[in-house]
Chain A
């Protein structure tokens, strides 16, 4: 479980996140949704410690994360996996070496054990016979899946995904969503997903927070979201014409 209490973050004096408080639950896919530029990525990067926060608290179970020193944060970070928007695979390493990297760095496993684990993770995300390919030789969807395989290589307790569907076609996007949900349940991880894709929201949104201009405006789940009274949320959810038609048909 990850708890965020009264988190504030600003850049050059401009507030980007204001008094965000939320609890992300274990074994669930927790979604942070909002328009582009609303502060989703800043919130996610603040939670994982890539941004220093001005005030507030970030708790990983019973550990106050944001006040830890580098060594303390490192301990928690070995339990984190993160899928970046652009996949962030290491260009100079092959698929196999990318997934093996955290194992090389943080375990004393033998080569055989590491290769076995790499193949297991790659199979788990349906990447087959691509061990020796470089990231530049992969499609967008494959890159995301390899990045997920790398993120789960060390059996993390926490999985963070920054817009996992960006740049993907709807079918691949659904596959990635399903994979994230399956892995979350399988390994009982605390998963936080940043997205503005309403398909994802309706597919995997077990817990959802909506952010607008750095402020948390709404909290609920995929069943509540269509019946919310929150005006800004409704503008976001029913932004496209198909959603608007469905809504008026329901009424």
Chain B
């Protein structure tokens, strides 16, 4: 009998080596990843070596991750606003419902969910894969090792500017998304003839709750943090070659999206209850 592989629980002999080994391995792997993620964050938020260089990097990330995302956010939000307006119109054809509800529905949908959550999911695909691929490629081509050899805190230098840029710029993207989405709704509604311009404009002003904007922006900030840190984490710990970088990009998008949806529920409960 191998004593080391057995244990006594309530007087019964249990073979530890066969005891739910795969599940335990998965749990250990999950906890390891979880721990590594927070260790990386600790490294990221340590004091920068030379703030002026970090400022330059942050400005560059504003362009890469922020300005370059305006186009896709505007296009998606425009069409989402248009579809919401048309769908609401076709589902409220009953004369009991006042027509301005179409405008109200478009406004609230854009503010509460679409410009923050759906836009975050789109950004998880665009920005998240970009970050994971960029940092992952730097890892496999030893560029991160080169930074470490120079004495640079590579995690902080590469990731902190991305976090700052997205935390500051994504709320702007959300506001742009709201405006463009409502504009898309107005265009679609009036051109399709399902609502008059006056009714739509009355609807978007009716029972407006400014806190909804704050709620949306708070969610955006959380989602921006999730997208940037999860994607950076996936890229930073890549080992192998181009295949693994591709896998890391996919994981970055999947994990970010799942976490965005999870935190959407949690934040909605906290902020709107």
Task: Give residues in A with beta carbon < 8 Å to B.
Answer: 45, 48-50, 70, 73-75, 77-78, 80-82, 84-86, 88-91, 101-102, 104-106, 160
Would B152 and A50 count as touching, CB distance under 8 A? no
Contact check, A84 vs B50: say whether CB atoms are below 8 A apart: no
| CB-based contact B53/A102 at 8 Å | no
B143 CB-CB contact with A under 8 Å: yes
Bound form: Cα–Cα A78–B149 in Å: 8
Q: Size range of the interface on B? A: 10 to 19
Known: A50-B148, A77-B149, A80-B149. A88 touches B143 (CB 8 A): yes
Complex Cα distance A94/B262, Å?
Answer: 42
A86 B151 Cβ-Cβ under 8 A: no
**In the complex, which residues of chain B have a beta carbon less than 8 angstroms from the beta carbon of A80?**
149-151
Pick the most buried of A77, A78, A104, A105: most chain B CB atoms within 10 A of its CB.
A105
- On whether the beta carbons of B142 and A102 are closer than 8 Å, the reply is no
Q: Are B143 and A91 in contact (CB under 8 A)?
A: yes
Does B141 touch A at the CB level, under 8 Å? yes
Q: Is the CB of A88 within 8 A of B141?
A: yes
* Contact A82 B50, beta carbon cutoff 8 Å: no
Asked whether any CB of chain A lies closer than 8 Å to the CB of B49, the reply is yes
- B198 an interface residue at 8 Å Cβ cutoff? no
Q: CB < 8 Å: which of A45, A77, A88 contacts B151?
A: A77
B145 interface neighbour in A75, A88, A89, A104, Cβ under 8 Å? A88
Q: Are B149 and A50 in contact (CB under 8 A)?
A: yes
Known A50-B148, A50-B149: A105·B50 in contact at CB below 8 Å:
yes
B138 cross-chain contacts in A, Cβ below 8 A: 90-91
The answer to whether A105 and B148 have CB atoms under 8 Å apart is no
Chain B residue at minimal CB-CB distance from A78: B151
In the complex the two chains form, what is the Cα distance from A45 to B144 in whole Å? 13
Task: Kindly state whether residue B59 has any CB partner on chain A within 8 Å.
Answer: no
Q: Say yes or no: B141 contacts A104, CB within 8 Å.
A: no
A48 touches B149 (CB 8 A): yes
User: Which residues of chain B from 8 to 65 have a CB within 8 Å of any chain A CB?
Assistant: 49-50, 53
B258 in the interface, Cβ–Cβ < 8 Å? Answer: no
Known: A80-B151, A82-B146, A84-B145. 5 other contacts (CB 8 A): A70-B153, A88-B146, A90-B138, A91-B138, A105-B49
Q: How far is the CA of A78 from the CA of B146 in the complex (A)?
A: 12
User: Which residues of A lie under 8 Å from residue B153 when comparing CB positions?
Assistant: 70
B54 CB to closest chain A CB (Å) equals 11
Q: Which residue of B lies closest to A74 (CB)?
A: B151
Q: Tell whether, in the assembled complex, residue A106 and residue B151 are in contact, meaning their CB atoms are under 8 Å apart.
A: yes
Minimum CB–CB distance from B146 to chain A (whole Å) comes to: 4
Of B53, B143, B145, which one neighbours A50 at CB under 8 angstroms?
B145
Contacting residues, chain B, for A102 (C-beta < 8 A): 150
Residues of A within 8 A of B152 (CB): 105
**Chain A neighbourhood of B143, CB < 8 A:** 88-91
